[in-house]
Amino acid sequence: MEIETVAPPLAPPVSDRAWPLLGALPGMLTDAPGTLLDAARRHPGEIFSIRLGPVDVPIICEPDHLQEVLVDNAKDFQKAGMWNVTRPLLGEGLVTSDGDFWRRQRRLMNPLFAPAHLASLTDLMVDAVGAQLDVLERHGANGAHVDMGAEMAVLTQRVLFQTMFGTTVDPDVAARMGEQLAIGFDAMNFQLFLYFLPGWFPRPKAAAFRSSIATLDAFLMDLVANRRANPTDRVDILGQLLNAQDADTGEKMTDRQIRDELMTIFVAGLDTTAITLTWMSWILDTHPDIATRMREEVDTVIGDRRPALADLGRLVYTKQVIQEAMRMYPAAWIFPRYTEGGTTVGGRRIAPGTSMLVSPYVTHRNPRHWEDPDRFDPDRFLPERSKGRPRLAYVPFGAGSRQCIGMHFGMMEAQIAAAMLFRRFRPRTVPGHVVVPRSEEHTSELQSPCNLVCRLLLEKK
């Protein structure tokens, strides 16, 4: 009797475009999205690895493989490895925590993002957007140039302060917090692809990272302490976090846990919508037919009155434009996973102790699932054109049990802000300015590879 020998699965192939010793590290530090997209197109339909210095990092971007990693076998993949770089800033919030602690925090926070509570935040969002658009009108008066990336960051920051804390924050304080957050991101993102360095090795920008975290911690902990000392009936996220109670144990969150969740919400919510609105400003300028169709829908549904929650379901084309912007330029363009015990994905062996990268950016530009993927086409999200497309071919908010808890909050904010912004203004790209994506400062799960470095001319509609 012959015994058939089954060969063990092979490791993912390593992308062959690499520097000696450094591997793909130079490309990942300067143009990570382009580096990954180029490698993916040379390995269609399969898992591949890139070499970062001494380690090989598998890249997960096919819908079937995302299903394995994020849904079917999610328990085999943890928030470790590369994720450890983010913990000094994000702490143990929902994005970074794991296991029983994550499940407890998710239970406590689910009510914050339930439809009933989101409905109660609608007026706060509309007020915050309207107030910032008044400021934007003054900034852009008489044809002045406006940095839309910076302005959209301020707009979403204002929405977050209103919905998180139920109040506005002094503009100077808000600007300082935004600056410190940018410093923290810059340092954290620079270190992300250097995660393999030993603990004793000096980290780039480490002092600036520590200083920014200390400033942000002081700000958030002061807000928590003031609210505990001065309770209010205001409907906001901070109040909900303070009152959240485990149904089984009666336990509430500590101040540190509240800080971590506030930081996570602030970081995730700030960039996602700001990046989408910034890219939409450029897209609508360069696609006037899409801009006209979207404005006509907003005029028909809302007209000159305040947007209401009931309007969002009727802003169908506006939502499609937002979805298409997030397909081409997803804020969460990449995020790590880690397997401690080793596993297989797509028939390829993943060794124990391996960090891997999931890339929605690459997934969203896969020609096997998206016809003409580099063309902006909101109608690709029509039901009849979505049939047959794998569900995980579109993952701007992740998938599975770890799908972003703020997904509906983000879409609601984006629809309200887009409707109010683009019915009031017509952004025009400054003549002669070349609009290009940048990635060197935006390489974490919570940042986009396509931060629009652009000044736009705003014209009153």
Nearest to 273 by CA among 121, 439, 415, 113: 415
φ and ψ of 252, to 5 deg = -110, 170
DSSP structural state of residue 396: B
Nearest to 132 by CA among 293, 300, 273: 273
Contacts 24+ apart (CB under 8 A), 182-187: 183/208, 183/209, 183/211, 183/212, 184/89, 184/209, 184/212, 184/213, 184/216, 185/89, 185/267, 185/441, 185/442, 185/444, 185/446, 185/447, 186/441, 187/212
The pLDDT assigned to 449 comes to 35
The pLDDT assigned to 433 comes to 63
Structure tokens at 345: 């994905």
pLDDT, one tens digit for every residue, the chain (461 residues): 566 656 668 888 888 777 787 888 888 877 888 889 999 999 999 999 999 888 899 999 999 999 999 999 998 988 887 888 888 888 888 888 888 888 888 888 888 888 888 888 899 899 999 999 998 888 776 667 788 887 888 898 888 888 877 666 676 777 777 778 878 877 777 777 777 777 767 777 888 888 999 999 998 898 889 888 888 777 678 888 888 888 778 888 899 999 998 888 877 777 788 889 988 998 999 999 999 999 999 999 999 899 999 999 999 999 999 999 999 988 888 888 999 988 999 999 999 999 999 999 999 999 999 999 999 999 999 999 999 999 999 999 999 988 888 899 999 999 999 999 999 988 888 776 666 555 433 333 333 334 444 444 555 54
Task: Give CA–CA dist 260/220, Å, rounded.
Answer: 9
Reduced to 3 states, what is the DSSP secondary structure of residue 312? helix
The pLDDT assigned to 415 comes to 97
Give the residue carrying structure tokens 């880690």. 338
Q: What one-letter code names the amino acid at 69?
A: V
Task: Give CA–CA dist 237/223, Å, rounded.
Answer: 12
The separation between CA 441 and the C-alpha centre of its own chain, rounded to angstroms, equals: 14
* Strand-pair category, 456-460 with 145-146: antiparallel
pTM value is 0.89
Nearest to 349 by CA among 64, 24, 35, 47: 47
φ and ψ of 347, to 5 deg = 80, 5
**For residues 359 and 35, is the Cβ–Cβ distance under 8 A?**
no
Task: Give CA–CA dist 146/455, Å, rounded.
Answer: 5
DSSP structural state of residue 68: I
Task: Give CA–CA dist 212/180, Å, rounded.
Answer: 5
